[in-house]
Amino acid sequence: MALRLTRVLKGYRIVDLSERTEPGKALGPDGRLRWFFTRVFPYPQPGGEWMRDIVMESHISTHVEGPSHYVDAIALKEGVGKDLSQLPLISYFGEAVLVKCDKIPDNSPITVDHLKDAGVREGDIVIIGLSGRAGQAAPYMSDEATRWLADLPIKMIGFDRTIGIENRVRLSGVTDARERLEGMLLHKMMCENDIPIIEVLANLEQLKRTRFFLFAFPAYLTGLESFPIRAVAFEPLDET
């Protein structure tokens, strides 16, 4: 069996879709500096092996968000939604489809038609990006597209830094944090339906195919609403 799997994997090209980050330089999805620092210490005493203390936020670099990220926040109570460790392992890998957004005009919505044209199907991991823009010029998710994906349902959704994850037009001018949270429809629809969200994907331009296999595992730690991942795409070499 092991040899058979080895032969199968030789038929795939591997692409790392993770954003590399350094202590003191980690950026969140909004581009602001986030906590990520390390300190070396000897164990069990001076002269022993080296280990590191790690101080970090859970939403740095390429990371996946689970149901409790939004569900607990909206309920103002921990433990209402599932944490990352409570989702089945199969939630974090599967067949993925790439939705390229380079043809969508500046500051325009990603529609259901865009998703259908990209070939999104039930059970897919949907990866959205490659708009070539950022900030207010980037395309953003429409409410209709968000509901359509949740209703299919899809398995997982991911974005690079060139996409507005929430409906920018509807949230425009909303400054109250609670009101903004309540208006985050994509987070609401995905988290309430146990659909993980990947943010800050990278290197999507290195993909040669729009369909591939994706692995995006978080650490198996309890109580976490989010954690950095190593997102890895496997592209078949012998399929058209």
Q: Say which CATH number the domain at 70 has.
A: 3.50.30.50
In a domain, 33, yes or no: no
pTM exceeding 0.85 = yes
In a domain, 36, yes or no: no
Supply the pLDDT for residue 8.
Answer: 84
Residue 51 CA to residue 68 CA, distance in Å, equals 31
Contact 148, 121 (CB under 8 A): no
Residue type, 14: I
Of 166, 116, 113, 160, the C-alpha closest to 141 is: 166
Instruction: Note down the domain range covering 175.
Output: 12-19+58-236
Mean pLDDT of the chain: 95
Supply the pLDDT for residue 93.
Answer: 98
In a domain, 39, yes or no: no
In whole angstroms, how far apart are CA 116 and each of 120, 195, 214, 223? Answer: 6, 19, 20, 36
In a domain, 140, yes or no: yes
At 4, is the pLDDT very low, low, confident or very high (cuts 50, 70, 90)? confident
In a domain, 169, yes or no: yes
Supply the pLDDT for residue 115.
Answer: 98
- Give the DSSP H/E element, type plus range, for residue 187: helix 185-192
Of 15, 157, 143, the C-alpha closest to 99 is: 157
* Range list of H helices, 24-142: 67-75, 112-117
Supply the pLDDT for residue 240.
Answer: 56
Q: What is the mean pLDDT of residues 213-233?
A: 98
- Domain count across the chain: 1
Q: 2-6, 147-151, 189-193: lowest mean pLDDT where? A: 2-6
Q: What is the mean pLDDT of residues 208-237?
A: 97
In a domain, 45, yes or no: no
Supply the pLDDT for residue 239.
Answer: 67
At 48, is the pLDDT very low, low, confident or very high (cuts 50, 70, 90)? very high
Contact 196, 59 (CB under 8 A): no
In a domain, 111, yes or no: yes
Task: Give the pLDDT confidence of 125-177 residue by residue, as tens digits.
Answer: 999 999 999 999 999 999 999 999 999 999 999 999 999 999 999 998 999 99
The yes-or-no verdict on residue 184 having pLDDT over 80 is: yes
In a domain, 106, yes or no: yes
The yes-or-no verdict on residue 1 having pLDDT over 80 is: no
At 3, is the pLDDT very low, low, confident or very high (cuts 50, 70, 90)? confident
At 5, is the pLDDT very low, low, confident or very high (cuts 50, 70, 90)? confident
Task: Give the pLDDT confidence of 89-110 residue by residue, as tens digits.
Answer: 999 999 999 999 999 999 999 9
